[in-house]
Amino acid sequence: MTIRSVLQAVVHPHHVTEDLGPAPAATENLAASLHGSLQIRHVDAGSCNGCELEITSAFGPVYDAERFGVRLVASPRHADALLVTGPVTKNMVGPLIKTYEATPEPRIVIALGDCARDCGVFRGGYGVEGAVDAVLAVDVHIAGCPPHPEAIIEALRGLTTQ
């Protein structure tokens, strides 16, 4: 499986609504250097916490995403990827950009959930800046409201098994 196919059909082919175009060179370089592990910094940019509950389940004892070499880290300086949930609120634009800049290159940006993809039910809200791709270039979208732990793990494993 190539990074290109993961980016186009990250969770289920019927969830992808548009061609994401060619994978950025930095993403290809990172995918080649991961060697089966992925360090992730999660950023809640304004979600309802539904996605956070599913992330907790994905990394909990039942699904145990860490057994696949995927790990949550506390600092963006230790991360290979940013996992962003929720629509980006006006107050989170600055912190999200600072977190992105603190993450070493090459890096992957993952938009988790429908709100991160297109603002979901928060679209048009007075405090919403926009979807994650309105602020950062997104490499991977994981669909769902919220996405199931299996879908999260499947997408993250797709990044580590190149």
Q: Is 136 left (phi over 0), alpha (psi -120 to 50) or beta?
A: beta
Give the pLDDT band (50/70/90) at residue 160. Answer: confident
- pLDDT value at 73 more than 50: yes
pLDDT at 159: 87
Q: pLDDT tens-digit profile of 8-48?
A: 444 444 444 444 455 555 445 555 555 578 999 999 999 99
Structure tokens at 10: 């990250």
CATH topology of domain 38-160: Rossmann fold (3.40.50)
* Residue boundaries of the structural domains of the chain: 38-160
Structure tokens at 75: 């600092």
Q: pLDDT tens-digit profile of 49-68?
A: 999 999 999 999 999 999 99
- pLDDT value at 156 more than 80: yes
pTM of the model: 0.78
- What are the DSSP calls for 83-109, one per residue? EEESPEEGGGHHHHHHHHHHSPSS-EE
- Report the alpha-carbon distance of residue 131 to residue 128 in Å, rounded: 8
The residue whose two tokens read 């506390």 is: 74
- Report the alpha-carbon distance of residue 59 to residue 97 in Å, rounded: 25
Give the pLDDT band (50/70/90) at residue 139. Answer: very high
Which of 2, 3, 7 is CA-nearest to residue 111?
7
Q: What percent of the chain lies above the pLDDT cut of 70?
A: 77
